[in-house]
Each structure stands twice: as structure tokens, then as C-alpha cells.
Structure 1
Amino acid sequence: MEIVASFVSSGRHIYSDKKMKPSRKVLFHHQTFSFQPLNNTAVSKPSRKQNISEHLRSRPQGTAPPGPKWIWQALRKAFGRPLILSIMLRVLADLLGFVGPLCISGIVHHISKDNRTIQQPMKLLGIYFISSKEFLENAYVLAVLLFFALLLQRTFLQASYYAAIETGINLRGAIQTKIYNKIMRMCTSNMSMGELTVAQICNLVAIDTNQLMWFFFLCPNLWAMPIQIIVGVILLYYLLGVSALIGATVIAVLAPVQYFVATKLSHTQKTTLEYSGERLKKTNELLRGVKLLKLYAWENIFRDSVEETRGRELSSLRAFAIYTSISMFMNAAIPIAAVLTTFVVHVHISEDGDLSPAVAFASLSLFHILVTPLFLLSSVVRSTVKALVSRTWTRDRSQ
């Protein structure tokens, strides 16, 4: 049903309502024979979702891959179109997100006390044509535009997320299929000689494929974040002048600190998992050989070993909690610090020294938009680095 659904239905997942309603109905025995095999259905999967192995097997047997970037070429041929569609939808959604602050500024300016003037009612004779500027300055028109802009933004954003997630899942399945085909055709002597161990196979299937999948999940952010930051800074400069650049500088200066905290948080989480696995391994060995431990009176030795590992795990968990608290505090404090700095500088630098409500509300919305890509910057950079490492490892093991 998803394949034949329209763009709006696919973006808002309206097509899934028809699949949810029959879940409350009772399924009779004679209704179970109406299901058709997948090969007999009228609609099949599009050709753009072919397995990546078809692209990798297109080269002649016994020839070397065409350079170190051959895996990116295969991924581009197999999953390039849906990924480009996801990036375009994400860029459109981010651009529509800037309509909100502009509409809020116009609405507040329209209903503010400075814009209200008590005038005598005038009787207009003839036909009065309003200009486009007057039409767009009306608060009711801006409210309607704000509603449709938010509706389109959420639709494009949801469609972008869905396309990126679906492409990432298909990518992981395709690479896992390629790895399994390579392992099944591999000589057993390669594994016995240590060229490809069981642990390396598990890392390829479970970890490296997941890293590439998460890179495809976050790939639209890699292209949308620069556009979002540039447009946001331009609009802030249009509203506040030079003070907006100072506020953006505060966010840019604190962004490396946030990236450092996020890196430490990821490293601490990885260390915690390692200590937890080591503790479980020692506990399992202790329980399996409990008779031997009782025979040789080794209980205290193994207990001290387990308690030492548990102590390191607790220390790592304590550091993880501290870094998590710092990260949450910075995510909440950076926008406030940037807004306060911008408003204080604007009041002292501007000629009139006045900060209207329209400019204040619009600036708050724009700063809120700017903080989101900077918050995701650390995750996107870390996922990109991990994907590059996994790509190199997968390329070397797939040749």
C-alpha cells in the first residue's frame, strides 16, 4: 500500500490507517486462504531498491575493484535516488521552518500597542484595492500562512526521516547479504589461518553495518545544517544587526565545548559497556566453576576480581552520569546565554536602544532554530567518522 500511496499519504502515513482498522475484526478461517504470494502481487518493489550485490557483481570475475572508492560508487548506484530525495525534503523542511519566526514577528507587530492608532471611521467610496504588502501585514493572513507552513514543514520532515530510515535499513540488509555471500564462498583455510576470524565477522555483520546505517539516517542533516545555520544568521542580522553576529559567535564558541562533552560521553558509554561485559564474563566463569573454586578455596580471589571490575564499572557509570548532566545543562544554557548576550549588546549598540516585542519574539525563535543543528553537529560528525572507518573495513573484507 505504501508504494501506490500518494506523496501526502506517504508523508503523513495516512495509508497505514487501512491496515490498522482490520486489527479489531475477527479473522475467520475461510479468510486466511485469500492471501497471495509476493510474486503474484500486482505491485512489486521498485528497481531502485535492488540488492547492492547486483552492482558489486557487475564487474568481471578476477578483476580488481576500480579504486578505493568502489564501495561508494556501488552505494550511490543502489541508494542514491532515495537519499537525494531525503536530503531535498529535509532542506525544504528546514527552509519552511524560518517562516514561523517571520510570521510571529508580523503578528506581534500588528497587534502591538505601537501599531494601534485611534482613527475616526472613514467611509470609502468606490472599490479599494489593497496591496500585497498590506495583505501580508494582516495578522489573520499571517496566522493562516503560519499554519500551512508548519503543516508542510512537518510533512516534508516526516517524509525525509522515513526515506532516510528506509534507505539505511535497506543498506544494512544489502551489505549483510554481501558479507554472508562472501563468507559462504570463502575457503575455510582463511579463517583457520587468522585472516578473518569469527570476531571480525561478527563486527562486520553487527557493528560496521549498523554504523553505515546510522550514517544514512543522519546524512540529510549533513547537508541541511549548513543551510539552516547560514539562513538563520542572515535573518538574525536582518532583525538585530551586528549584535546578532555576536550572539551567533557565542554559540559557535561554545559548540566545541559541547562536542568535547559529547565525545567524552560516547567514550564513557563505550567503556561502561566493556566493563559490564568483562564483569558478566567473570561472573559466568565463577558460576560455571563453582565446584572447582570450592575445592581449591579460590572464592576470595575470584570475588576480588569481580569486585574490582564492578568498581571500575561503577566509576565509569558515575562519569557517564556527570557528562550527561553537563550535556543537558549546556543544551539548556547555550540558547539562553546567546539570547541574553545578543539583547544586551543590541540595547547598547543600537541608536534608539529599543527592543520591540516583534523583534524579541522572532529572535528567540531563530535562536531556538540555530541551537538544534549545533546540538546535532557532534552526533553527525561522530557518525560520519565511524561510517568512514566501517566503510574502509568493509571494503577491505569484501574484495
Structure 2
Amino acid sequence: VKVDDDDYNDNDNDNDNDGGDGDDDDVFRDETPSSTGDCGEGPAWPEDGVGRGGSGIVRRTLTSINDALFYSYMNRILGKGAELHERRKKRNRRDAASAAAADVKSGGTEAPSEDDRESEGARELSEDDLYRAPRNMEAHHLRAEFDRLFEEHASRPSSSSSSASASAGKRGNGGEKGGLPPSATATATNAIDRPAFFRVLWGVASPTYVPAGYWQLIATLSQCAVPLLVREVLLLLESNPDQSFAAEGLPVAFGLFLVSLLDGVAMERQKFLSFRSGIALRAAIVNAVYDRVLRLTPAGRAGLTGGEVTNLVAIDAQKLFELVQEGHQVWSCPLAMIIVTGLLLMELGPSILVGMTAMFLLVPLVQRIVRTMMTIRRKRVAVTDRRVEATTAMLQGIKFTKLNHYEEKFRARVMDARRDEMALLRRELSVLAVTFFLTVISPVFASALTFATYVLIDENNVLTAATTFTTLILFGALRFPINYAGKLMGKAAQGIQACQRFAAFFSRECRERPSAANGNGNGGKGPNTSPMPPPPAPS
């Protein structure tokens, strides 16, 4: 959507006729009418396909491709922001000149009026100028999808728990009729293990995460194709040192440009879709945690502290979000390593195996270090729960704390937990630093061993420009997956630990939701017009 300059000119002419200077705060009020919806007042999300591209199929297709690759729909917001910025600068210069003239005449300046301040606020971007959330990322949609998948993969409540709930309902009023309604006593003991919880999370994120995987595949193949094109350029320069490079080299150079462009577009699209998947996952699971907390039974609350719930929605949900950002590296890094290793074998022969062996020998050591980091983090999370619990208890009972002068006692508890937490955090970061050191030094060591082996095993092996630079580029392409392996395994360990904590939380016993067919909780049988039962006769 482009900004229409004619609208600006028309509004400026109207303002000039009114004696103004062409500034109009409502210049964007009629642009891009929003479609119907219940999520904000701004226009619909462009990639939802509402009112984009006109009526022609070809035009809509081209518009969708343009939006998906280059995010051209952001031009509307960016154009409005730039226009308002220029208007604000012009208005500031005008106000400064007016203030200087008033100072000369009256010896002082007037304070801006309330109307001026309100109009100044209206000149900024507001929520109505932004797009509404995509339909598949609205909170109610994500919540419903998470609940459906959870009910599908979780184990059903046992008959013993159902009979126990029914007997509890009878005992609630002395075994007489008219006791507690079934909705108040029915409980759900749906336990869910970690694999089933992974399947629930995958069902929520897959609509955007699967296309992100396709873009990641395109980016990986493009990155592996760059060294081959560079090799062709160098071979052409070596074979024809005295001839013009334009005839044969320009097509290869142009292909190198196109591959680099495709790599950039694919990588950015993958990051965008992965970011959306992470947001959807975090929003769904935070909504589900809060809903679950409100429906926990006394047995389900046993052993659960406020600090644990806070860490679930503030820390563990964020760890899942970060893991989703890098999740496609789990398969793309090994794929890149396999492709690059094959290209190195074609370039240098068996001598490359020496360097590859040196790098892969470090993998078991890195894995052991990562396991140590997981153990340390498990201890640190327990200490963090204790610290947050103490802080929450102090804030919730602040009146009791102040009246009894317990501030120092609470402070001592919090600081003791914080000291233990910082000690474990230093240990965890030290282990992570060792992991980074090993992953960074391994490609350098491997390339040195490879070049030395290639030259020493045969006198005829000469490192030409094409061979040397192609090998260095391939090792550079191999450097990223190897360097990132340690960081990726660390994030994966934290994400798996977060999933374990979520699975344990969602396995707690909770009450069934009352029927919402008509909002009265009577099973959807229409309005509840039965009179209240009379109170029991006094004994």
C-alpha cells in the first residue's frame, strides 16, 4: 500500500484556504479501510489476504508474493511515520520562530495550552495506525487450539477419580440431594508426558513453523552453492589470464549475485516465520497456564508455589520462545556439514578427513559439557523458585511484614537465595564459555591440519588460488554449524527442561470447565429457572 501524494496536496490546499500552513493531523484518517473483526481498529493483517491485490487472481498472487518476500505492506506505516516526523520538524521550527517573536514583543513566552498538547499527541502514530494481529495468532484462537490438542494427546481421567469426585459431591451437602453441582466437583486428572506435550506444542506452531523450514532449506542450499560459484570464477581467471573476463565470467558473477540475494531473502523469511511461531507458542502456553492455575483443585495446588508459576510464564515460556527461533538449525546444521564435507572431499581429496576427524572428536566432549550445564541449570532453577517465592510472599503480605518488622528477615532470605543463584549462574556460564572456546577453535585447527596434510602427502599437491580460496570459503561455511552447535545444544537443553516443567504442571489435578453453552453452567439445557433449594431444617 503506497502513500497517495494527491491526498496530501488536497489536504494542504484545504488548510491553506483556512489560513493554516498545510499541517493536517487527520491526513491519514481515510486510508486503507479495515475489514470487519474484533481485534483492534486498524486494518487487517495483509498476509491474511483481506482486501489485498484487487480482484484479479494474477494480481493477488503477485501481491501475496511481494508481501511475503519484501514486507511491502509496511510502507504504509513507515511512510506515515516519516511524514509525521517531517511535519513535526516543520512545526517545531514554526513554534520556535513564534516564541522568539512573542519574546521580543512581550518579554516572555506563553506556556503551551492544553489543546496544543492534545494536538501534539494526536500527531504521533497510534494503535489504530497499526495492523491487527493475524487471525491465526489471536489469543482466543491459540487458546482453543492448545486446549483441543491437549485434550487429544493427554490421557483421559480414570474411573476411580471420577467416582471419587462424585462421592465428594455427595458428601459436600451431607449426602442429600441438591449438593454441589457437578461442575464444581468434577476434576480432570489428564496427565501428559513430555513426548505428548511436544506434540501439543508442535500442533500449535506447525502452521508457520513448517514453511519456515522450507525457507531454511533454501537458505542452506544457497549458502553451499556460493563456494562453487566462487570456484568457477577463480578457475576462469586462472585458465584465461590474458583474456577478457566479461564473456564467460559475467554469467557466473550474475549467478553468484542471484544466489546471494536468494540466501538473504530466504534467511529473513525463515527468521520472520520462526519469530511468529515462537510468539504463538508463548502466547498459547501462557494463556493455558493462567487458565490451569484458576482451575487447580486443592490436591493440584499441593506443593505448588507462586514462584514456580511465575517462572513458568516468565522464564520457561521465554526459553521455549528462544528455542523455536533456532529450532531449524537442529537439522540444517548437520545438512550443511554433510554437503560441505562432500565438497571438500571433491576439492582436496582424502586429506580433508584429517581435519574433519579432529573436529568430530570434540563432539563427545562438548556433549558431556552440555550435560554438566543442564545439571547446574536444574539446581539454579530450584534456587530461583525459592527466591521468587520469598519475594512474592513478602509483597503479598506487605502489611504484615511492615507491622512485625520482618523486612530484614525477608531481605536476608532473598539475598541468601540470590547468592546461591549467582554462584550456580557463574558455574553455568563458565561451562558455556568452555563450550564456545572448543567450538570456535576447532575449525581453525581443522583447516591447518587439512592444508598441512594435503601438501605433505604428495609433492604434486599445490595450493592454487582456486583451491585455497574455495577451501577457505568452505571451511567458513562449515564454521557456523560447528560454532553454533554448542549454543544450540545449550538452548535445546534449556528448552527440554522447560518442557519437563510445563508437562509436570499440566499433569496436576484441576476442575473441569463448566458448560459455556449459555453461560449458566447447567449443561447447556437452556435458562436455569429452577428455584433455589430451601435451606436444611435446623437440627
Q: TM-score range by the shorter chain?
A: 0.7 to 0.9
Shift of 1:37: 11
Q: Identify the structure with the greater helix proportion.
A: 1
Shift of 1:97: 0.4
1:322-341 deviation digits (Å, cap 9, x = unpaired) = 77876665555333222221
Q: Which moved more, 1:55-64 or 1:361-370?
A: 55-64
1:247-277 deviation digits (Å, cap 9, x = unpaired) = 1122222445556667778888999999999
Aligned to 1:126: none
- Give the paired residue count: 364
Aligned to 1:355: 463
Structure 1: which 5+ residue stretches go unaligned? 122-133
1:205 lines up with 2:313 in the alignment: yes
Structure 2: which 5+ residue stretches go unaligned? 1-44, 50-62, 89-118, 158-189, 395-400, 508-539
Aligned to 2:142: 50
Which one of 99, 113, 116 corresponds to residue 240 of structure 2?
A: 116
1:23 lines up with 2:113 in the alignment: no
Shift of 1:222: 0.8
Note if contact 1:107-1:138 (Cα within 8 Å) is conserved in structure 2: no
Aligned to 1:140: 250
Aligned to 2:506: 398
- Measured in 2, the distance between the counterparts of 1:238 and 1:98 equals 14
Q: Which residue identity lines up with residue 14 of structure 1 in the other structure?
A: S
Note if contact 1:87-1:220 (Cα within 8 Å) is conserved in structure 2: yes
1:337-348 equivalent positions in 2, closer than 5 A: 337-348=445-456
1:172 lines up with 2:316 in the alignment: no
Q: Which residue identity lines up with residue 64 of structure 2 in the other structure?
A: S
1:73-92 equivalent positions in 2, closer than 5 A: 73-92=199-218
- Measured in 2, the distance between the counterparts of 1:63 and 1:236 equals 54
SS of 1:63's equivalent?
A: coil
- Measured in 2, the distance between the counterparts of 1:209 and 1:146 equals 41
- Measured in 2, the distance between the counterparts of 1:37 and 1:150 equals 32
Q: Which moved more, 1:98-107 or 1:56-65?
A: 56-65
Greater RCO, 1 or 2 (C-alpha within 8 Å, sep 6+): 1
Q: Which residue identity lines up with residue 198 of structure 1 in the other structure?
A: G
Aligned to 1:215: 323
Note if contact 1:12-1:158 (Cα within 8 Å) is conserved in structure 2: no
- Measured in 1, the distance between the counterparts of 2:319 and 2:501 equals 11
Cα 1:322–1:227, aligned 2, differ >3 Å: closer, same or farther? closer
- Measured in 2, the distance between the counterparts of 1:222 and 1:200 equals 29
- Measured in 1, the distance between the counterparts of 2:153 and 2:494 equals 31
1:96-111 equivalent positions in 2, closer than 5 A: 96-111=222-237
Aligned to 2:337: 229
Q: Which residue identity lines up with residue 45 of structure 1 in the other structure?
A: R
Q: Which residue identity lines up with residue 21 of structure 1 in the other structure?
A: G
Q: Which residue identity lines up with residue 163 of structure 1 in the other structure?
A: L
Note if contact 1:204-1:394 (Cα within 8 Å) is conserved in structure 2: yes
Note if contact 1:107-1:142 (Cα within 8 Å) is conserved in structure 2: yes
Q: Which residue identity lines up with residue 221 of structure 2 in the other structure?
A: L
Q: Which moved more, 1:169-178 or 1:51-60?
A: 51-60
Q: Which residue identity lines up with residue 50 of structure 1 in the other structure?
A: L
Aligned to 2:176: none
Aligned to 2:260: 150
Shift of 1:373: 0.9
- Measured in 2, the distance between the counterparts of 1:75 and 1:272 equals 25
- Measured in 2, the distance between the counterparts of 1:44 and 1:275 equals 39
Cα 1:142–1:258, aligned 2, differ >3 Å: closer, same or farther? farther
1:209-288 equivalent positions in 2, closer than 5 A: 209-257=317-365
- Measured in 2, the distance between the counterparts of 1:350 and 1:151 equals 40
Shift of 1:180: 0.7
Root mean square deviation of aligned Cα = 4.6
1:330-368 deviation digits (Å, cap 9, x = unpaired) = 555333222221111111224622111101111111111
1:70-99 deviation digits (Å, cap 9, x = unpaired) = 323322332223222112211210111011
- Measured in 2, the distance between the counterparts of 1:267 and 1:61 equals 28
Aligned to 2:55: none
TM-score of the superposed pair, with normalisation by structure 2: 0.56
TM-score of the superposed pair, with normalisation by structure 1: 0.73
Note if contact 2:307-2:386 (Cα within 8 Å) is conserved in structure 1: no
1:195-225 deviation digits (Å, cap 9, x = unpaired) = 3221221222222222222222221011111
Note if contact 2:326-2:488 (Cα within 8 Å) is conserved in structure 1: yes
Among all aligned residue pairs of Structure 1 and Structure 2, give the percentage whose two residues are the same amino acid.
18
SS of 1:98's equivalent?
A: helix
1:183 lines up with 2:259 in the alignment: no
Larger radius of gyration: 2
Which one of 148, 156, 161 corresponds to residue 63 of structure 1?
A: 156
